Amino acid sequence: MPTFSISERVHWVGALDWNLRDFHGLYCPRGGSYNAYLVRGRKAAVIDTVYAPFAGVFLDHLHELINLRDISYIIANHAESDHSGALPELLEVAPQAKVVCTARCREMLKACYNLPDACFQVVKNGDTLDLEGATLLFFEVPLVHWPETMFTYLVEDQVLFPCDFLGAQMASLPFFADEVPGLLTEARDYYAFLMRAYSKAALAGVTRVREIAPRIIAPSHGPVWRDGGEEILAAYERWSTAPEQNLVVVAYATMWGGTEAMARAIAEGAGQGGAKVKLYQLGATPVSRILGDILEARAVALGTPTFVGGIHPSVVGLLPFLSMIGPKGKQALAFGTAGWAGGGARKLWKELQELGLNLLEEVPESRFVPGPDEKKRLQELGYTLARG
């Protein structure tokens, strides 16, 4: 893929990872991207690098545009490997370039790549860097989403580089957000997986972006917002405060179909109650997609077969992720099946109660498979979830 211009002084020089499907647990059905940018005044700066396996593509992109010896600065907004992996290779061919980052980021990069102090130029909130015809302004934004993270803003072109914030892990051509259908679903899952655990910091990040009022938002993953990014800013505000829609998510593990039959009856009842319904068998759909839907759900029903006297491992595996998105107050139902002994659903109820969900007291548990009367009751419970 060629480089391309996103504003008068900025070129995209990153890499698209079309085959990425699992980004340390985040499901990426549309691949991934590691965005890096070349900013030029009379001096030049590179903003972030790429994941190490894509260093060759990244350096080729830079070669197309500039003699690498003319790069004065490498701005490291964030230390994580998907943005710093190619830093050692870039420094080998551009040893004159200073790495510009926060003090905490410097310590992380030194630990990751054994770089000497002399490589670095530390900046703090409000500092600027003069590229002679292009001015970079830095904002420290701790816990958006790591503690060392900063935003970089190109004053003249009004372009904000917020790294992971406001991004979506996807490969996309075209590359501008207004041309990419379905982008908000990928951005939501990215938010749920990486940002929601620090939602107060995310809200502070939105406030900071609104104060800056950029014309273009160029994150380090996914498409570039060239219309001020109001759509993604409003979405971040909603996901950080009151994400609930009229949606019921029913998720379950099943071994021989009994818990699935219960889940379907609950889903039918929720649909009859007027809610949008998502039904997921755990394991058939990646957890991060289910999590994104649960973030936006007003009610959740979770089902488990009794497995060695307890909760099925697939359901157990969902619980830490559920905790991560802060599900407190969502209406919930625990249900499940018993074989020769029961108790899995009741144990699940207790786990969900500890997470702060607003649970229905009733914990339906069917012996092997639900009978007609049990299905009717499950439909009623689904209806109750839908009606709130």
Smallest distance, ligand FEO to C-beta of residue 164, A? 4
Annotation says 244 is catalytic: no
Restricting to residues 193-222, which ones interact with ligand FEO according to CB under 6 A?
A: 220-221
Piece of 80-88, 154-162, 269-277, 340-348 that binds ligand FEO (CB under 6 A): 80-88
CB closest to ligand FEO, residue no: 80
Q: What are 15's two structure tokens? A: 């890499």
Annotation says 80 is catalytic: yes
Whole-angstrom distance, CA of residue 72 vs CA of residue 294: 45
Restricting to residues 146-175, which ones interact with ligand FEO according to CB under 6 A?
A: 164
Q: What are 215's two structure tokens? A: 């014309």
* Residue 256 contacts residue 264 (beta carbons within 8 Å): no
Smallest distance, ligand FEO to C-beta of residue 320, A? 19
Restricting to residues 84-143, which ones interact with ligand FEO according to CB under 6 A?
A: none
- Class of residue 244 by CB neighbours under 10 A (exposed 0-12, middle 13-18, buried 19+): middle
In the block, which residue shows the tokens 């249900």? Answer: 335
In the block, which residue shows the tokens 């935003």? Answer: 151
Per-residue x/- track, 215-254, ligand FEO (CB under 6 A): -----xx---------------------------------
Smallest distance, ligand FEO to C-beta of residue 49, A? 11
Which is nearer to ligand FEO, 39 or 194 (by Cβ)?
194
Per CB under 6 A, the list member of 83, 106, 208, 264 interacting with ligand FEO is 83
Residues in the site for ligand FEO, rule: CB under 6 A?
A: 78, 80, 82-83, 145, 164, 220-221
Q: Looking at the annotation, which residues are catalytic? A: 24, 78, 80, 82, 145, 164, 190, 221
